[in-house]
Structure 1
Amino acid sequence: MSIHPPETPRTTAPAVDEDMRLHFEVQRLYAVEAQLLDQHRYADWLELFTDDLHYWAPVRTNRLRRQQALADGSPGEVAIFDETKASLAWRIRRFDSGMAWAEDPPSRTRHLITNILVWPADEPGEYVAESAFLCYRNRLEREVDIYAGGRTDQLRRDPDDGRLLIARRTILIDQNVILAKNISTFL
């Protein structure tokens, strides 16, 4: 998967139209995703992912400039999230059971997604999308958390209906120390 947009922009009208349609489709996917999360419709949110999903947020550390390549954790190391579709489904069932004390009463959230860039990946029908996010979370009287960061997604067309689904998500939270009591919010 190529993680950086192509260097040379497309200049022909059909290619520009295709790029605009793709960008709009991804922007709409992310808007629907944010709405589902903010409405606590987690089972519907889970349907936006492929069955082979990897949902990952590595731990980040503060490093000197010369060591920046080591600032983000690697696969297999400790992570904030290291989930599959099955493990996310388990977490959602737990929320719905009333046994998730950290979400009873439930948080109020607002997910904002912006700075979306999307381009074709190496495989046909797959795309890479980068976005920035801000998630505001409020619970009870005084619990307020704000998460900001970036996401890189691998998107794949569903062979049955052609819609875009999220196959891989890497989340880089800008804080290296999460100050919240818990992170029961999906990003």
Structure 2
Amino acid sequence: MLAEAPLKSAVPTDQELIDFVVREARLIDQQRFDEWLELYADDAFYWMPLEWNQTDPRLTCSLMYEDKLLLSIRVERLKGARTFSQKPKSRCHHVLQTPQVDSRDTAANRYVTWTPIHYVETRLDEQALYAAWVTHHLGVEDGKLRIKLKRVDLINCDAAFGNIQLFM
């Protein structure tokens, strides 16, 4: 089991930041969405820009820009018995390069990682492959790391996409 352990100290090490990012992807792959959602701070956002180098999710359309409430609604929809678009359920697989710690600001409780990924999502005979860079903005709350912002920059963000059912 991937039980979430409290940090060994108030300041996360680089390895703890990297392990957190890898664990988050594994929870998605294993469809442990309730545990995944617990990794998010109450004021967190999940953002997938629509434009290359997009700087503000509120001034430009995004593929996704969801707060924790919207994420929880999506999780409930994925678990729902009447979600016919998920019969059978979609599955996914993350292939991550080693996450890099881009910045650490202990005084402000801000830690940023950057991870190149390949993501495969499949359902029935359909399979889609996406390549992206994922940036996690993390903070420590009650002795545990929490996601404040997860930004997923698809390399081909301006392409036409079908439905992305799960979370990258």
Sort the TM-score into its range (normalised by shorter chain). Answer: 0.7 to 0.9
Q: Specify the alignment match of 1:74 in structure 2.
A: 56
Q: Specify the alignment match of 2:28 in structure 1.
A: 37
Segment of structure 1 superposing worse, 38-47 or 116-125 = 116-125
Structure in which a larger fraction of residues adopt helix: 1
Q: Secondary structure at the match of 2:19?
A: helix
Q: Contact 2:138 / 2:149 at 8 angstroms: preserved in 1?
A: yes
Q: Contact 2:18 / 2:98 at 8 angstroms: preserved in 1?
A: no
| Deviation digits for residues 5-55 of structure 1 (CA, Å, limit 9, x no counterpart) | xxxxxxxxxxxxx9xx72211221122111111111111100111000011
Counterpart residue identity of residue 133, structure 1: I
Aligned residues: 156
1:102-117 matched pairs, under 5 angstroms = 102-117=85-100
Q: 2:121 aligns with which of 134, 137, 149?
A: 137
Measure the CA separation in 2 of the matches of 1:106 and 1:176.
Answer: 25
Scaled by the length of structure 1, the TM-score of the pair is 0.75
Counterpart residue identity of residue 146, structure 2: L
Q: Specify the alignment match of 2:3 in structure 1.
A: none
| Deviation digits for residues 51-82 of structure 1 (CA, Å, limit 9, x no counterpart) | 00011111025xxxxxxxxx536321211110
Scaled by the length of structure 2, the TM-score of the pair is 0.83
Measure the CA separation in 2 of the matches of 1:99 and 1:117.
Answer: 40
Measure the CA separation in 2 of the matches of 1:24 and 1:73.
Answer: 29
1:5-44 matched pairs, under 5 angstroms = 22-44=13-35
Q: Specify the alignment match of 1:168 in structure 2.
A: 149
Counterpart residue identity of residue 182, structure 1: N
| Deviation digits for residues 91-148 of structure 1 (CA, Å, limit 9, x no counterpart) | 111111133333221112111222422121374332111111111112102x010111
Measure the CA separation in 2 of the matches of 1:136 and 1:146.
Answer: 5
Q: 2:104 aligns with which of 120, 134, 148?
A: 120
Whether 2:138 is the aligned partner of 1:155: answer yes
Q: Specify the alignment match of 2:77 in structure 1.
A: 94
Q: Contact 1:59 / 1:73 at 8 angstroms: preserved in 2?
A: no
User: Shift in Å at residue 180 of structure 1?
Assistant: 4.4
Whether 2:74 is the aligned partner of 1:83: answer no
Give the alignment's Cα RMSD to 1 decimal.
Answer: 2.1
Measure the CA separation in 1 of the matches of 2:47 and 2:105.
Answer: 19
Counterpart residue identity of residue 185, structure 1: L
The runs of 5 or more residues in structure 1 that have no matched partner are 1-17, 62-70
User: Shift in Å at residue 178 of structure 1?
Assistant: 4.7
Q: Secondary structure at the match of 2:113?
A: strand
